[in-house]
Structure 1
Amino acid sequence: MNQSSSSSRVLSGMRPTGRLHLGHYHGVLKNWVELQHQHECFFFIADWHALTTHYDDPSVIPESIWDMVIDWLAAGVDSEAATLFVQSLVPEHAELHLLLSMITPLGWLERVPSYKDQQEKLKEKDLATYGFLGYPLLQSADILIYRASQVPVGEDQVAHVELTREVARRFNHIYGREPDFEEKAEQARKKMGKRAAKQFTQLQRAYQEQGDPQALEDGRALLQAQQNINTEERERLLGYLEGSGRLILVEPQPLLTKASKMPGLDGQKMSKSYENTISLREKPEHVEQMLKRMPTDTNRVRRTDPGDPQKCPVWQFHLVYSDDGTKQWVEEGCRSAAIGCLDCKGPVIESVLNELNPMQQRAAEFEAQPDLVRRIITEGSERARVVAQETMREVREAMSLRGFES
């Protein structure tokens, strides 16, 4: 794998939680469906991560994986456009996690905001385990093993990506300096040809002596365009350009995603823990019943009482699903009591059912073809493992762990 191929690589994963709901669709899956056509995407089922909090009852994980994969495919995640795989089918994740744990200070893990936050939320569980403390580092290994340049996250997860960047930086600093690094870098520079080599040297000086950030960007672009150097030589020259060592692990950037505005049936965030979800495979008649029973503005006791859409959970659904004309009709009708609450819910019910219908048809098709679903995951995991093995070959070599390999 070369630097140019990883420069547009995106990695994202989900813990296997079983059947997904509209919150997952609007918060994650719609974004994945867009990204898969813009970047080289790796989407994975983080089954080892599930063990960090559910190690005492792993029996639910296999069925949860199955249900979640079907919902991914039904939502439009395309196995031809992206690589879909199961984390535990690529054991190199665990190896890189182990090796990174040798150089990662404990303080880095303890300061991850979600560490204490999750301990507070899950007080009923015994989370005094290394697995729970170390799961952010396993996340880092998940990202770094594919040299992903971008990781789609919400603002609350940026700290995890920053930890990954710090770990990659520390690894490259410790292991990226070969004894004959500069000699090899110079040999690679000469292979670029006289004109490109001269340009590289000028950009290197401009960045290292003057701190010109544009020179760094231009230098990276120059290296990515070179056809006369191989993967290792390109990465070595990238380190030479920056004044560090060979860039073995890539520092990813957070790809900020819009915060999901999908409300639950009670107005809170849609979440299984709140029991306020609409499953992507919920029967249409159940969806209609659930939406009809949604609470509304408590001031509208009678049909003739005026209401305030801002105080009504149904209005939050209109913000997701309705066009401007419908929202204006709702606002005016609710405030003047010209429409009742069931009238207001009508367009929402129709829109939700229209959104779910094609997904449910696709889900039924995949449920009827279990061998196809297994093949998608098996083949995706095999493709992912090829990339992971290539990274681990370089990691082992950098750490002098090649042993007696030929």
Structure 2
Amino acid sequence: MTLITCTKNKTQPQHLAQSSNLDSPPSSIQSQEKILTGDRATGALHLGHYVGSLQQRVQLQHQYQQTILVADMQGLTDNGHNPGKVSSNILNVVADYLAVGIDPNLTTICLQSAVPALAELSMYYANLVSISRLERNPTVKSEIQSKAFGRSIPAGFLTYPISQAADITAFGATLIPVGDDQLPMIEQTNEIVRKVNGIAGTPILRECKPLLSHVSRLPSTDGKSKMSKSMGNAILLSASDKDIRQAVRAMYTDPNHLRVEDPGQVEGNVVFTYLDAFCTDKAYVEALKTQYRAGGLGDGKTKAILESCLQEVIRPIRDRREELMADKAQLVAILKAGTEKARDDSSDVLNNVKSAFGLNLF
């Protein structure tokens, strides 16, 4: 049986050219809006990140001044007992960024722990936020429950909305790409901004607004929760052909679709959710759905079609990623150059906040 590829005419990522000048700052962008986004350095990135944020960042870097933070300090908020999980994944995350087409000549890629202003601003802001306010934050409350902390909540985890506010304000970011679940974090950031501006008597910090994604969150391969490498229900951007095949074969479909001739349910069927996300031939996917609902289309065939699709999506990313990881010195140089720029970008904000608190004696 010849499979119809569902990635025809798909534009592949524009990968970082080998001749990129590592010392060049990101190109000047006319828009006054600034974007801050990033990821915790707790593991290599997966297809959920690719659909939910990475593709968008590749586009945004041509429209806005964009900073991407490798959030190693935030990664420690629930991994303080195992810091190696964070330190060992910093370059993995950077390689993933570059492999999908994020260009360090257009986007500032920096390391959170190496920008001192972020920790210092967090300390100042912490004095303006009560514990009860942090505990009321719906995003924090939900994550505390999902991680089953009980009352053994690491202080760093409870206060990470403050750290995020420091990250956002330090770079004067005005647009923050988030999902609906992160809107309370934007609200809390703006509360802090208003308090600092009130102390200063003038608007030294800018409020931000969310840039909501219109892409539905990609479910885990088992259909039970969000993707997680530790839970074995995610497909990494570095996945081998074998890894992809095994993940697709194990995907949750319709448990009542026992025979090929049985009518099947598309809603909640992970295979069709992934086809919607990755197959560019939408008419073909709709035809498959119609046939599946009517009966006469087996899960084996739909999974084979999806596997072929995902192999085409991941292969060039994986190959480029392997090239990048073979030259870790280049990755370090790119991260260092971006971090140095981030230090410069954040210095004025830090000085203004210190002045607002009367801490500018010298």
With normalisation by structure 2, the TM-score equals: 0.85
Larger-Rg structure:
1
Q: Find the aligned partners of 2:220 and 2:39 in 1 and give their Cα distance.
A: 20
Letter of the 2:242 partner, please give it.
E
What is the distance in 2 between the residues matched to 1:121 and 1:73?
31
Pick from 39, 48, 54: which aligns with 1:23?
Answer: 48
CA offset digits 1:146-171 (Å, max 9, x no partner): 11111111111111111111111111
- RMSD of aligned residue pairs (Cα, Å): 2.1
Q: Which residue of 1 aligns with 2:333?
A: 375
Alignment partner for residue 327 of structure 1, among 280, 285, 290? Answer: 285
Paired with 2:290 and 2:301, the residues of 1 have a C-alpha distance of 13
Other-structure match for 1:76: 101
Task: Output the amino acid matched with 1:84.
Answer: I
Partner of 2:177: 152
What letter is aligned with 1:175?
A
Contact persistence 2:235–2:244 (CA under 8 A): yes
Matching of residue 360 in structure 1 with residue 300 in structure 2? no
Deviation at 1:337, TM superposition (A): 3.3
Return the alpha-carbon distance in structure 1 between the equivalents of residues 150 and 105 of structure 2: 40
Q: Which moved more, 1:383-392 or 1:129-138?
A: 129-138
The answer on whether the counterparts of 1:43 and 1:82 sit within 8 Å (CA) in structure 2 is yes
**Would you say 1:291 and 2:248 are equivalent positions?**
yes
The TM-score normalised by the length of structure 1 is: 0.76
Residues 14-163 of structure 1 mapped to structure 2, 5 A cutoff: 14-124=39-149, 127-163=152-188
Indicate if the aligned counterparts of 2:43 and 2:93 stay in contact, CA closer than 8 A.
yes
Aligned to 1:7, the other structure's residue is in SS state coil
User: What is the one-letter code of the residue matched to 1:308?
Assistant: Q
Specify the SS of the correspondent of 1:13: strand
The residue type equivalent to 2:139 in the other structure is S
Aligned residue in 2 for 1:218: none
Q: Distance in 2 between matches of 1:6 and 1:163?
A: 25
Indicate if the aligned counterparts of 1:307 and 1:334 stay in contact, CA closer than 8 A.
yes
Higher helix share: 1
Q: Does 1:337 align with 2:362?
A: no
1:397 paired with 2:355, answer yes
Tell me the CA shift for residue 35 of structure 1.
Answer: 1.1
The percentage of counterpart residues that share the same residue type is: 32
> Equivalent of 2:308, from 341, 345, 350?
350
Q: Structure 2: which amino acid aligns with 1:250?
A: R
Please give the per-residue CA displacement for 1:287-308, whole angstroms capped at 9, x wherever unaligned: 1232133343222323333323
> What is the rounded CA distance, in whole Å, between the counterparts of 2:313 and 2:43 in structure 1?
20
Matched residue type, 2:165: S
**Alignment partner for residue 175 of structure 1, among 194, 200, 204?**
200
After superposition, the Cα gap between the structure-2 partners of 1:328 and 1:162, relative to the gap in structure 1 and judged at 3 Å, is closer
| Partner deviation per Cα, 1:356-405 (whole Å, 9 max, x = no partner) | 111112101101111110001001000000011121122222322221x3
- Deviation string for 1:56-83 (max 9, x for gaps)? 2212211121211111111111111100
1:84 offset after TM fit, Å? 0.3
Alignment match, 1:212: none
Residues 293, 117 of structure 1: alpha-carbon distance in 2 compared, 3 angstrom cutoff: closer
Tell me how far apart the structure 1 counterparts of residues 77 and 284 of structure 2 sit (CA, whole Å).
45
Q: 1:351 to 1:252 in 2, by over 3 A?
A: same
What is aligned with 1:263? 219
The answer as to whether partners of 1:262 and 1:269 remain within 8 angstroms in 2 is no
Contact 2:262/2:296, CA 8 A, preserved across alignment: no
Which residue does the alignment assign to 1:280? 237
Report the residue type matching 1:91 in the other structure: P
Consecutive unaligned residues in structure 2, runs of 5 or more: 1-28
Q: Deviations over 1:299-338 (max 9, x none)?
A: 2323333323335322222222332322233123323433
Q: How many residues align?
A: 332
Alpha-carbon distance between aligned partners in 2 of 1:90 and 1:29, rounded to the nearest angstrom:
23
Alpha carbons of structure 1 residues 293 and 50: separation in structure 2 relative to 1, 3 Å: closer
Deviations 1:183-227 (A, max 9, x none): xxxxxxxxxxxxxxxxxxxxxxxxxxxxxxxxxxxxxxxxxxxxx
Q: Structure 1's 306 and 110: CA in aligned 2 closer, same or farther, altered over 3 A?
A: closer
* Cα distance in 2, alignment partners of residues 402 and 363 from structure 1: 45
Q: Which runs of 5+ in 1 are unaligned?
A: 177-244
Mean CA deviation greater in 117-126 or 326-335: 117-126
Counterpart of 2:205 in structure 1 is 249
Cα drift, residue 270 of structure 1:
4.1
Matched AA of 1:312: N
Alignment-derived partner of residue 201 in structure 1: none
Alpha-carbon contact 1:280-1:356 (below 8 Å) kept: yes
Match of 2:15 in 1: none
Specify the SS of the correspondent of 2:210: strand
Residues 1:166 and 2:191 aligned together: yes
Structure 2 distance, partners of 1:51, 1:113, is 21
- Tell me the secondary structure at the aligned position of residue 211 of structure 2: strand
Question: How many angstroms does 1:129 deviate by?
Answer: 4.0
